[in-house]
Structure 1
Amino acid sequence: MSGVDLDAYVAEHDAEWRRLEQLSRGRRLTAAEVDELVWLYQRAATHLSVVRSRSPDPALVARLSRLVLAARATITGGSHLSWREVGRFFTEGFPLAAYRAGAWWSGVGVAFTALTGFLMWWVAGHPESAGAFIGEEAAKDLVASEFAGYYTEFLPQTFAFHLWTHNAWLAAQCLASGVLIVPVLWLLWSNALNIGVVGGVMMSYGRGDLFFSLITPHGLLELTGIYVAAGVGLRIGWSWIAPGPHRTRGRAVVEAARDGMLVAVGLVGVFAVSAVVEAFVTPSPLPTVFRIGIGAAVWLAFLGYVVILGGAAAAKAKASPPA
């Protein structure tokens, strides 16, 4: 969707969105207004999906997301978002959803980390392959300046925002396409190939130390976030293939997708942290051991957060009687 098309799309539906906003302000509605609210809510949810897939404009996505959430709260009788609910999401909702899918994303992480390592080893051991993948001149430029220069090309705050939105979009693709399985595997393969080729080229030119010193501080958390999104997405797809006993396929997918929505929101924060590390810590003049130490500490903190809080939430849910 081009800029002109986006403007036309907004102009076409803006009146509906304004009306939806009016109906979602919490006043008592008539029966006809409730029907209108539900219809406009379904329309806005469709519009949000279209905008996200064709032109992920951050401002428009944020506006439509607020509208859809407010309308949903009005329809379901939800109260205004409270700090208690926010705290509960971060202490129970997100870590529990990530914890439940732990076997999936840890398996994805191990498999594709091994694949990435193999690709690095193979490219490093076959220097002539650099020409086939990216070209000899491009390989020399990569080693000489482009790889290190990537982290200092833009202002840190601009770079961080770019990284944040890019990684969040990649995670959203993994979650949204999980039910089809193949697209998630393709995204993971593309990521592994990119890192494996770049790392292998750097190693073949004797600059493996530079590669690992720059990619490790932020890569630990960033790649884990991608693996979490991919693992949860694949879990959604598998729930359709094998729903398990006493569950229909539809119910299994809905339950897995509900966890996927929680993970999607939580990963926005995870990628914000990894973006800050990549933009401010990775290119900093701090000694390598300190930069890697900061990245490792943040990564271990995330794993501990999921295991400890997610495990506690799982135990609490298991102990609670069914509603």
Structure 2
Amino acid sequence: MDLDAYIATHLGQWRRLEDLVGRRRLTGAESDELLDLYQRVSTHLSVVRSASPDPSLVSYLSALLARARHTSTGTRTTTRHEVWSFFTSTFPASLYRTRRWWLATTLGSVVLAFVVGAWAVRHPEVFTEQMTRAEIDAYVGTDFENYYSEYPHHEFATLVWTNNAWVAAQCIALGVLGLPVLWILAQNVVNVGIAGALMVSHDRGSLFFGLILPHGLLELTAVFVAAAVGLRLFWSWIEPGPRTRLESFAAEGRTAAAIALGLVVVLFVSGGIEGFVTPSGLPTWARILIGVVAEALFFAYVFVVGRRAAREGVTGDVADFEQPATAPVAS
């Protein structure tokens, strides 16, 4: 193909598309013309790539088409109403819809933690094989308690927030593989069980639960939710139901993304409790009460707000107009 002749033939259309893209407002006729030129220039780019792939021309046409696509589709901004709708409808409905998964995950994890703790109490060699006597005495005597006051409150709250958000993000992101989620979950549960066993076996159980429960109730619930969402994501392509595996995975992936965004806020709250309440001078009963209230509010949020939203038809997925077209299937 004679590239120079091809450029000379179509340069006018490219310049016209550039002109339309650069305008702040377009009339109806100009919008129609822009779409027509977009299709034509897309064809031109395809021809150039296949017949005479000049790098500079390909780059120019690609950039021009990207600008035209942006102009034709416009931009979408998130409004306060959409944020409000997310936290009063989409997020709680997603949690309610997946409740069986994360309630089962929570129950199984708690049982595993107590089983591991009970076993470790009866087999103290699990501690002495990993720690010296001096290290055990330091951990039980001061280190466990001092961990919560080692940093300024705001720095510690930020530290635990980002750490817990990272664990939750791993559970969801690795959900497609399934087994890594179980490994991450088991690691965290076993560590909690062994730490509790070490404290209980040295008559420091009240200190352990007094420091863990204020923030741990909400924090661990959020991690269990993330793990359950990851496992549900894995199951969506193992058992897709009437949809194709791709459609099933895409739908659950969009819901998982919504839950991930909401959990950022939940973990922010638990991080604030861990940073400011857990190491505070409040009586133990008051600190635990704050944790119990935070957990109760979360469950009320799911089973009151979430149930109402679910009954109104909210699934946690994006709006219908934002979803890709799917082929009908036989029921």
Residue 177 of structure 1 is matched in structure 2 by 174
Distance apart, 1:165 and its partner CA: 0.7
Determine if contact 2:89/2:314 at 8 Å carries over to the other structure.
no
Q: Does 1:113 align with 2:110?
A: yes
The residue aligned with 2:271 is 275
Question: Within the alignment, does 1:308 sit opposite 2:304 as a pair?
Answer: yes
User: Is 1:144 the equivalent of 2:159?
Assistant: no
The answer on 1:262 being equivalent to 2:292 is no
Aligned pairs for 1:1-323 (under 5 A) are: 31=38, 35-36=65-66, 77=74, 79-244=76-241, 246-317=242-313
Match of 1:171, SS state, is: helix
Aligned residue for 1:154, secondary structure, equals coil
- CA distance, structure 1, for counterparts of residue 233 and residue 73 of structure 2: 25
Q: Which runs of 5+ in 1 are unaligned?
A: 1-22, 40-70
Check the 8 A contact 1:101/1:232 in 2, yes or no.
Answer: yes
TM-score between the two structures when normalised by the length of structure 2: 0.74
CA shift at 1:139, angstroms?
A: 1.8
C-alpha distance in structure 1 between counterparts of 2:148 and 2:167, whole Å? 20
Query: Aligned-pair distance for 1:146?
Result: 0.6
Q: Is the 8 A contact 1:133 1:197 kept in 2?
A: no
Question: Deviation of residue 35 (structure 1)?
Answer: 3.5
How many angstroms apart in 2 are the aligned matches of 1:198 and 1:27? 64
How far does residue 318 in structure 1 lie from its aligned partner after superposition?
A: 7.1
The code of the aligned residue for 2:238 comes to I
Q: Are residues 110 and 75 of structure 1, via their aligned partners in 2, closer, same or farther at CA, if it must alter by over 3 Å?
A: farther
Q: Is the 8 A contact 1:130 1:136 kept in 2?
A: no
How many residues are paired up? Answer: 263
Question: Partners in 2 of 1:187 and 1:236 — Cα distance?
Answer: 16
SS in 1 for 2:209: helix
Structure 1 residue ranges (4+ consecutive) displaced by more than 6 angstroms after TM superposition: 26-30
Change (3 A) 1:247 1:202: same
Q: Distance in 1 between matches of 2:86 and 2:73?
A: 18
- 2:140–2:202: 8 Å Cα contact kept in structure 1? yes
Check 1:124–1:27 CA distance in 2 against 1; reply closer, same or farther (3 A cut): farther
Give, as a single letter, the amino acid of the residue that structure 2 aligns with 1:260.
A
Point out where structure 2 has 5 or more consecutive residues left out of the alignment.
1-20, 39-60, 322-331
State the 1:80 CA deviation: 1.9
- In percent, how many aligned pairs have the same letter? 41
Structure 1 vs Structure 2 CA RMSD: 2.5
Instruction: Give the deviation of 1:36 after TM superposition.
Output: 2.5
